Amino acid sequence: MIRKRFRKMNELDKVTWEVAGAIALAFVALFIATFRVSNFTSLFVILFSAIIVSFSVISQSWTRYFLLAVLAGILWLLMILRNDGDGLYRLLVIARFLLTGVCFVYFSTVVTQISQRSYIAVEKISKEREETLKKSQELVGRLSALIVVITAISTKATLKDVLTEGLKAAREALGADSGLIYSVRGESGEMSIVGSFGYSEEMLRKMKEKGIKDSSSCLACARREPIVVDDLLADDKCQSLAGVESGSSVCAPIISGDTLWGVLHLRRQEDAAFSKEEIQFVLAMTYQFGLAMERASLFEQVSMLAITDSLTGLYNYRKLERDLQGEVVRSKRYNHPFSFIMADIDDFKKFNDLYGHPLGDEVLRRVAEAIEGSRREADRVYRYGGEEFCVLLPETGWVEAVDVAERIRTAIESLTIKAKSLRKPLKVTLSLGIASFPDDSEEKSGIIASADAALYVAKESGKNRVVAFCETKERPLRRAHPDA
């Protein structure tokens, strides 16, 4: 009955009863050892019992029994010196002391083992709690990182912002020592590094110079699954990581639907540092990256359509107004000049009347290509409306602008347009007017009006020529926008 009840007790209750029983039996043994013994001998029995108990708690070796024998011998000598009782009496006292000592050794050992078991159990529970807490913190960190990426889907409008935020979130969630994020360019499959951390400038420069020309050479892209390298020194790895010779890495493709957007690469300094759970988390994160990048790409496409002329592919009048106003503000702040060219295809109405609008559209496209091909790298070309085009030339005075305009005029003059409906190639010419900031105006509307007035003079003076507004004696203002 007692055994059944003891088995049903929890571990703490069992330990309590075991310690209580050991202490009770020890005191019973001590009572037996000092029963009907002189006060002097009793004191030494109690003292020596305390010594053997203390030593038994500290040490679990056989030395305890040797010490017990030594203490029994000392007690025997003391009793002889004190002439305490006869030989039989002393023998009985020593026998009871030895029995009590053995009991104390055993009970002390039991209590020590119970205490150690309890300590180990508590330590185990503490470690389990710490591990659980650590895993919980890691999980919360990863969930927070996913929330950051999901937030980027709704708050970041550009691919660059999405990738920057995504890489930062991956770094914090997984504690990576270094990482890269690549973007894949459409059908060409060329991969370029758009974000990084942890790699030296020299290493990063070498990676960018080497590059990845075709995404099919990347295993993560080719297989559309994460590639884990447990030892970057010994195992096979991507060619772009040839200079990395320590740690472990994971590369995961960024996919949305059937579209490959990029690759996320993370590295740790330890070998085999990425667990299965962490790799699954990387996959969950790259899935969110894919959604974010798809959304950002669509947003950029829509934004580009809003500022692009559908026929020529040039920027439209809406984009011109925004850029021109920004250039006025910037030039005023830094006291820099800039110039503005307005160009008009000569006799364009005749093309439409004689050959029809399809050929007129072809003329517009070819002229737009020629102007775009003749501009400088910093210049921007716009379709102003109808057959009119504009070129914005940052940090350029009117003299230099005349040279650029002449180059454009010459390119158009040498242009020939062929069509099945034409007996011979069609020739096109262009008239151009130039206005400069701040000489001709310090306001956006004034710059447009001045360039338009110079264009009007170019038309009136024979067409196929360049006229700067500052060169005109009279400055008539015709109109400032295509709908006027």
The pLDDT tens digits for 316-364 are 999 999 999 999 999 999 999 999 999 999 988 887 777 788 888 888 9
Residues 191, 109 within the same domain: no
Residues 26, 91 within the same domain: yes
- Asked if residue 142 belongs to a domain, the reply is no
| Two tokens, residue 87 | 């030989």
- Domain tally, the chain: 3
- Asked if residue 236 belongs to a domain, the reply is yes
**Residue 479's pLDDT is what?**
38
- Asked if residue 357 belongs to a domain, the reply is yes
- Residues spanned by the domain of 113: 2-126
| Two tokens, residue 483 | 């709908």
**Residue 124's pLDDT is what?**
85
- Asked if residue 309 belongs to a domain, the reply is no
**Residue 35's pLDDT is what?**
72
Identify the CA nearest to 227 among candidates 263, 193, 269.
263
Residues 460, 385 within the same domain: yes
**C-alpha 143: how far from its chain's center?**
14
CA distance 454 to 432: 8
Residues 107, 215 within the same domain: no
User: In the block, which residue shows the tokens 């973007």?
Assistant: 183
Sort strands 466-468 and 227-229 into parallel, antiparallel or unpaired. Answer: unpaired
**Residue 293's pLDDT is what?**
77
Residues 392, 446 within the same domain: yes
Residues 94, 214 within the same domain: no
Residues 328, 456 within the same domain: yes
Q: End of a domain among 88, 107, 126? A: 126
| Two tokens, residue 278 | 């962490």
User: In the block, which residue shows the tokens 């758009």?
Assistant: 194
**Residue 287's pLDDT is what?**
83
**Residue 31's pLDDT is what?**
72
- Asked if residue 139 belongs to a domain, the reply is no
Residues 198 and 177: beta-carbon distance below 8 Å: yes
Residues 238 and 214: beta-carbon distance below 8 Å: no
**Residue 286's pLDDT is what?**
83
- Asked if residue 16 belongs to a domain, the reply is yes
**Residue 242's pLDDT is what?**
64
Residues 182, 212 within the same domain: yes
22-63 pLDDT tens trace: 667 777 777 776 777 777 778 777 787 778 777 777 777 778
3 state DSSP class of 453: helix
CA distance 147 to 139: 12
Tell me the average confidence (pLDDT) per consecutive run of 10 residues in the chain, 484 residues long.
Answer: 56 64 71 72 78 75 81 82 78 80 75 75 84 77 69 65 76 83 76 83 78 75 85 70 76 85 87 84 82 77 82 91 93 94 91 81 91 92 94 94 94 84 81 94 92 93 92 52 41
Residues 322, 467 within the same domain: yes
- Asked if residue 259 belongs to a domain, the reply is yes
User: In the block, which residue shows the tokens 């091909």?
Assistant: 373
Identify the CA nearest to 204 among candidates 151, 161, 240.
240
Residues 290, 406 within the same domain: no
At 393, which helix (H) or strand (E)?
strand 388-394
Please, what sign has the CA dihedral across residues 113, 116, 118, 124?
negative
For residue 385, give the CATH number of its domain.
Answer: 3.30.70.270
Residues 48, 160 within the same domain: no
Vertex 435, ends 409 and 459: CA angle to 5°?
50
**Residue 249's pLDDT is what?**
86
**Residue 157's pLDDT is what?**
62
Taking residue 135's Cβ as centre, other Cβ atoms within 10 Å add up to: 11
Q: End of a domain among 76, 108, 126? A: 126
Residues 467 and 458: beta-carbon distance below 8 Å: yes
Helix 357-374 / helix 398-413 crossing angle, nearest 10 deg: 140
Please, what sign has the CA dihedral across residues 99, 100, 105, 109?
positive
- Asked if residue 422 belongs to a domain, the reply is yes
Residues 6 or more apart whose CB falls under 8 angstroms from that of 386 comprise 348, 482
Q: Give the distance between the most distant pair of CA atoms in the chain.
A: 151
- For the chain, the residue count is 484
3 state DSSP class of 160: helix
Residues 381, 422 within the same domain: yes
Helix 87-155 / helix 63-81 crossing angle, nearest 10 deg: 150
